[in-house]
Amino acid sequence: MKPYRLMLALIALGAVSMSSAEVSPVLVIHGGAGVIRRDMNPAKEKAVRAALALALRNGYAQLKAGKPALDGVTAAITVLEDDPNFNAGKGAVFTHDGRNELDAAIMDGSSHRAGAVAGVHRVKNPILLARAVMEKSPHVMLAGDGAEQFAKEVGIALVDPSYFRTEERWQQLQKALKEDQEQQPHGDADTAKHFGTVGAVALDAQGHLAAGTSTGGMTDKRWGRIGDSPIIGAGTYANSGCAVSGTGWGEYYIRTVAAHSICMEVTQMRVPLQRAAGEIINQEIPAMGGNGGAIALDADGHVAMPFNTDGMYRGWIGADGVPHVAIYGDENDGTAEPLPAPSDSSAAP
């Protein structure tokens, strides 16, 4: 082989080697902010922690197998949608009229493709329908009956509305209706109506990010109210450098375009992830009268999980392959420092 051809071949091999260099995958999840410690009991806490760990393991298995970040996000969120302890899918809260209205969104950071659904009543896993909207329709958001017609056409599972009901959620509605009738002043119970969402953000081995969020919305909501979760940029957003899923008082996340704002600070203004997320979640939103939390992940694998409530169901899994789960504000969730670098001894769960 002539020298210049050999040089070109070596350069090409080097380029291929660099482009195929893998990133250590990371998955971060939340199961909603606003956790009130006094309402927890040992059995529920154990169940919640187990579900969070299962969601992390299922989602991370996809990432370790080389699947895209979107697969890690959907695998994690479907676990939480299927678990009645979370306000998404089975176990979603009830509207004022005694129905379940479900919302979800997903976004691929590398392509900026996104899909969302709002106000669906029979979709077993709204996150899967949101992804189908992204991948199998020309649209970004579908709502109500039209979204469910689309679900039928693309083979997304539909269930009888009774599937979503749990006695705990039904009693929460009865309490809220009684408070409405008695015109009780706003307090902790009223504020708690606004919380309950599940979400995930993921970084895959190719360095791509994705974000997804799913929710039953707000207890006692009326008039087809839609919160921030299915709104791209408000409760869900991802680009090439940042991914965010929010949980909290949705009206304030919409007004601050919270998820997009965090990512713009990270990618455009080069603000460190934890600082950017903290400024929006713990300063800007509370200054307007709202509260809640979020999970955020950047392209370097840094994690932020800020919240300003009593607690937030949350967890992450990285190079060590071990699910890290927390609930309360006084728990160390292990994200004060960058996640550990991969090692030869790292193993998938």
Q: In the block, which residue shows the tokens 């009229």?
A: 97
Catalytic annotation, pick one of 197, 213, 309, 335? 197
Q: Pinpoint the alpha helices (H) of 65-99.
A: 69-81
Strands 311-317, 198-203: parallel, antiparallel or unpaired by DSSP? unpaired
- Give the DSSP H/E element, type plus range, for residue 296: strand 292-298
Adjacency order of strands within the sheet including 236-238:
236-238, 242-248, 292-298, 303-304
| CB of 55 closer than 8 Å to CB of 77 | yes
Please state, in angstroms and rounded to a whole number, the distance separating the CA atoms of residues 126 and 89: 7
142: which strand partners?
Answer: 117
Largest Cα–Cα separation, the chain: 89
| CB of 292 closer than 8 Å to CB of 266 | no
Q: In the block, which residue shows the tokens 């979603």?
A: 92
Strands 141-143, 114-120: parallel, antiparallel or unpaired by DSSP? parallel
Please state, in angstroms and rounded to a whole number, the distance separating the CA atoms of residues 209 and 205: 10
Q: Is 197 assigned a catalytic role?
A: yes
Helix (H, G, I), strand (E, B) or coil at 92: coil
Catalytic annotation, residues? 197
